[in-house]
């Protein structure tokens, strides 16, 4: 179990006071979930972690069919209030409480006290950045549950709606506050930003560019955090901002997962439910712009066999910055295909800044016969602009970049060449040039000539040795990887024995 600890301003040295919360219900699998087992489990985990101080296990026993009283949870919240707890471990959201709104309410309250809740199954600490997103999702979850809670819920809503009783929003949304009846009313200090967000989106800015704009202007989300691509995106696609409300936008499926309702259950679309912040026209414009961008990027993302038939451009595309061919880059577990500069891949960023073009963009633009040199420029709107140049016109102005020539193996070019030795066997290190990358490395001559049985061999990039500065005496070099598996090199003037 790995737990990210929040950056708090409390003193860092003190151990975290960690408790656990567990809840069993009569319908749970008895063996695995017995209360004693859970308590023992948490006690062991907490006591075995050096940075933790054991602050107890709180528990509740729920009997299905009865209203939950949860004295354990109440006690834990009270102790948190008193400052006795820093972190709470718990199994999962659904284990925390049967009703998600209870989870939400409790975690929010705890967050205000700077007490984190770590959900093992979701691997999320509510005090982390992801935790904020999780709380947003939890809120939607809770709303869905409250809307589908009982069989008669729909009727209740219908009656309420017809009687003009407003929807009860569990959540505050950015741009809105609630009046005493719980109806959304615009909060002008935030509403101005909502309008700006829609205007930017309609104007073709990407969520990433909008996020940057908001963060640069110090605007904070409802949760008081910085904006992310997804918080911007969620805001834009939320119909709440044009005054409408979809009841049952999400629902909780049999696996108790919150899913977007795509017609599986009845949804109600309520128009003019509350005050709008943006006009329906602007709202729609923003949707169209975002949707178009998404389609564009998603196109061609079903990755097919790499044949010229499927990808007619595959052997005809080159980087206009360095002239090297583009190669395929696959992202997102094989769901996304881009084409990138092979010059950058081979010789590094200092050789070529590189380009990276989504397959969908290239596919749409491709109507050429011959070789094309592609360049990209970032635009302020957060998108990239790609230009396509015919081979003949590219070659008139540019030359294919070649990596710098490797100097001859002389004393002049490598003043240390006779002073470097293998730290394992004491053999001289000799120069080796990687034919592909054109990189110089120094390798153990003993291992090279007599094989690994003689010496496991030392290999060290020339750049590392250069970084050490002038070498006066003979040195014996060894590679010692650090804890994170990063390559580290060290040297000594002592000759290895044996």
Q: Which residues bind Zn ion (CB under 5 A)?
A: 319, 321-322, 341, 343, 352, 422, 424-425, 427, 444, 446-447, 455
Which residue, 441 or 444, is less far from Zn ion as judged by CB?
444
Spatial CB neighbours of 235, under 8 Å, sequence gap ≥ 6: 174, 194, 197, 241
Which residue, 191 or 425, is less far from Zn ion as judged by CB?
425
Which residue, 6 or 321, is less far from Zn ion as judged by CB?
321
CB of 391 to Zn ion, least distance (A): 15
DSSP letter at 332?
G
- CA-closest candidate to residue 361, choices 314, 292, 311, 297: 297
Question: In which residue are the tokens 């819920």 written?
Answer: 153
β-strands 250-252, 87-90 pairing: unpaired
Which residue, 234 or 428, is less far from Zn ion as judged by CB?
428
Which residue, 248 or 459, is less far from Zn ion as judged by CB?
459
Contact between 182 and 168 under an 8 Å Cβ cutoff? The reply is yes
Which residue, 54 or 327, is less far from Zn ion as judged by CB?
327
CB of 444 to Zn ion, least distance (A): 3
Spatial CB neighbours of 274, under 8 Å, sequence gap ≥ 6: 166, 176, 183, 184, 185, 240, 243, 245
CB of 369 to Zn ion, least distance (A): 23
Which residue, 233 or 476, is less far from Zn ion as judged by CB?
476
For residue 102, what are its two tokens?
């209870």
Burial of 171: CB neighbours in 10 Å, binned 0-12, 13-18, 19+: middle
Which residue, 358 or 446, is less far from Zn ion as judged by CB?
446
CB of 298 to Zn ion, least distance (A): 26
CB of 431 to Zn ion, least distance (A): 15
For residue 467, what are its two tokens?
């970084």
Contact between 232 and 197 under an 8 Å Cβ cutoff? The reply is yes
CB of 455 to Zn ion, least distance (A): 3
The length of the chain, given as a count of residues: 498
Long-range contacts of 175-178 (CB under 8 A, 24+ apart): 175/241, 175/277, 176/240, 176/274, 176/277
Concatenate the DSSP letters of all residues of 337-350 into one string.
EEEEEHHHHHH-TT
CB of 419 to Zn ion, least distance (A): 16
CB of 262 to Zn ion, least distance (A): 42
CB of 297 to Zn ion, least distance (A): 22
- CA-closest candidate to residue 56, choices 28, 86, 12: 86
Query: Alpha-carbon distance 341 to 143, whole Å?
Result: 47
Which residue, 349 or 472, is less far from Zn ion as judged by CB?
349
């Amino acid at each position: 179990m790995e737990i990210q600890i929040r950056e708090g301003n409390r003193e860092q040295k003190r151990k975290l006071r960690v408790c656990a919360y567990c809840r069993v219900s009569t319908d749970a699998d008895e063996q695995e979930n017995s209360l004693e087992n859970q308590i023992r489990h948490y006690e062991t985990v907490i006591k075995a972690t050096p940075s933790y101080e054991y602050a107890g296990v709180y528990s509740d026993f729920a009997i299905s069919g009865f209203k939950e009283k949860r004295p354990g949870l109440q006690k834990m919240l009270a102790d948190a209030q008193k400052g006795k707890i820093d972190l709470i471990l718990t199994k999962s959201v659904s284990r925390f409480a049967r009703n998600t709104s209870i989870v939400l309410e409790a975690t929010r309250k705890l967050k205000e006290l700077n007490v984190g809740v770590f959900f093992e199954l979701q691997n999320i600490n509510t005090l982390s950045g992801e935790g904020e997103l999780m709380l947003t999702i939890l809120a939607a979850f809770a709303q869905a549950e409250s809307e589908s809670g009982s069989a008669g819920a729909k009727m209740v809503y219908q009656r309420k709606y017809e009687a003009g009783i407003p929807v009860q929003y569990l959540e505050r949304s950015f741009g809105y506050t609630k009046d005493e009846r719980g109806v959304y009313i615009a909060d002008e200090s935030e509403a101005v930003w909502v309008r700006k967000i829609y205007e930017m989106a309609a104007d073709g800015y990407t969520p990433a560019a909008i996020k940057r704009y908001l963060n640069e202007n110090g605007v904070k989300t409802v949760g008081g955090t910085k904006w992310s691509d997804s918080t911007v995106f969620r805001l834009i696609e939320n119909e709440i901002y044009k005054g409408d409300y979809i009841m049952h936008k999400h629902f909780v499926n049999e696996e108790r997962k919150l899913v977007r309702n795509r017609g599986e259950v009845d949804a109600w679309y309520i128009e003019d439910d509350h005050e709008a912040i943006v006009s329906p026209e602007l709202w729609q414009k923003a949707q169209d712009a975002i949707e178009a961008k998404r389609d564009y990027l998603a196109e061609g993302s079903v990755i097919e066999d790499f044949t010229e038939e499927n990808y007619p451009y595959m052997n005809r595309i080159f980087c206009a910055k360095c002239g090297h061919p583009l190669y395929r880059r696959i992202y997102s577990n094989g769901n996304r295909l881009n084409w990138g500069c092979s010059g950058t891949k081979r010789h590094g960023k200092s050789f070529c800044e590189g380009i990276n073009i989504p397959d969908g963009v290239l596919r749409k633009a491709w109507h050429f016969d011959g070789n094309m040199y592609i360049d990209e420029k970032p635009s302020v709107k957060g998108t990239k602009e790609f230009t396509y140049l015919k081979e003949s016109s590219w070659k008139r102005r540019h030359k294919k970049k070649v990596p710098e020539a490797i100097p001859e193996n002389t004393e002049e070019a490598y003043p240390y060449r006779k002073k470097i030795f293998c730290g394992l066997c004491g053999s001289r290190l000799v120069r080796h040039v990687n034919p592909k990358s054109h990189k110089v490395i120094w390798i153990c001559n003993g291992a090279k000539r007599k094989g690994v049985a003689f010496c496991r061999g030392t290999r060290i990039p020339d750049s590392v040795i250069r970084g050490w500065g002038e070498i006066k005496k003979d040195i014996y070099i060894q590679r010692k990887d650090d804890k994170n598996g990063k390559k580290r090199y060290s040297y000594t003037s002592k000759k290895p024995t044996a």
